Amino acid sequence: MRCKPAGPRNADKVEHLPPPSECENPKYIVTGTRDRFGFLKPGRLDTLQFPAEEWHKCCLINDGKKMQCEDVTAMPFSELINQHHGMCGSHACMGADERCLHVDHQEEELTNPKKGQCPGSCSGDCMRSSERLECVRLGMTVQEGGTEGHDAQYVRGAFNQPEKYEVFSLSMPLWLEQWRRRRMHWEQFL
């Protein structure tokens, strides 16, 4: 039996990160098992899935001495295509190397709301939820032999300009995880 990964170690888990003015260059960390190309039914882009990816948005504070992270969720491609027409906020986010993340989800209970603050179907108080959608490009996934780790986490935009964030993958490819499990079961059998 093994434990589920708890996200980045040596980081404080928080509900919400500091505002962008205090966290200028966030780090996105993906953990869990990962298949680089995802899974989809032939000819159906809306079925593209990346199962078992767990995303975290992190910020270095105190001059880089401390890291805070919040758990974020990736929007399923079916929702991205069918409900948002491929747009993640104001950005197109449809590539296999892009993820649309739900960030800074907040819920607030409105008691004695003013007219128009709650839907007409609510008879009294209601809950207001808000969140931000961020499209994240994964960056370089394949590098020349001998250059692994050289600027791999720096993400380049559409016109080769550097983005204001970095992406780190701490996940294991699915086939490697399956092999590790089979080997463990075989060793237990012997």
Return d(Cα 183, Cα 61) in angstroms, integer: 41
The pTM assigned to this predicted structure is: 0.70
For residue 27, being part of any structural domain is answered with yes
Amino acid symbol at 37: F
How high is the pLDDT of residue 8? 56
Instruction: Give residues with Cβ within 8 angstroms of 78, minimum separation 6.
Output: 46, 47
For residue 48, being part of any structural domain is answered with yes
2: pLDDT confidence band, cut at 50, 70 and 90?
very low
Token pair for 126: 């209601």
For residue 2, being part of any structural domain is answered with no
How high is the pLDDT of residue 3? 44
Whether 131 contacts 15, CB under 8 Å: no
| pLDDT tens digits along 68-104 | 999 999 998 889 988 999 999 888 888 778 889 998 8
Range(s) of the domain holding residue 38 = 12-189
For residue 4, being part of any structural domain is answered with no
- At 172, give phi and psi (nearest 5°): -110, 135
Q: How many domains does the chain have?
A: 1
Instruction: Give residues with Cβ within 8 angstroms of 155, minimum separation 6.
Output: 136, 137, 138, 139, 162, 163, 165, 166, 167
Return d(Cα 15, Cα 125) in angstroms, integer: 24
Look at residues 26, 37, 28, 30 and name the one whose alpha carbon lies nearest to residue 54: 30
| pLDDT tens digits along 112-131 | 777 777 776 677 777 777 78
How high is the pLDDT of residue 1? 39
Looking at residues 3-21, what average pLDDT do you find?
A: 70
Looking at residues 160-164, what average pLDDT do you find?
A: 70
Whether 167 contacts 135, CB under 8 Å: no
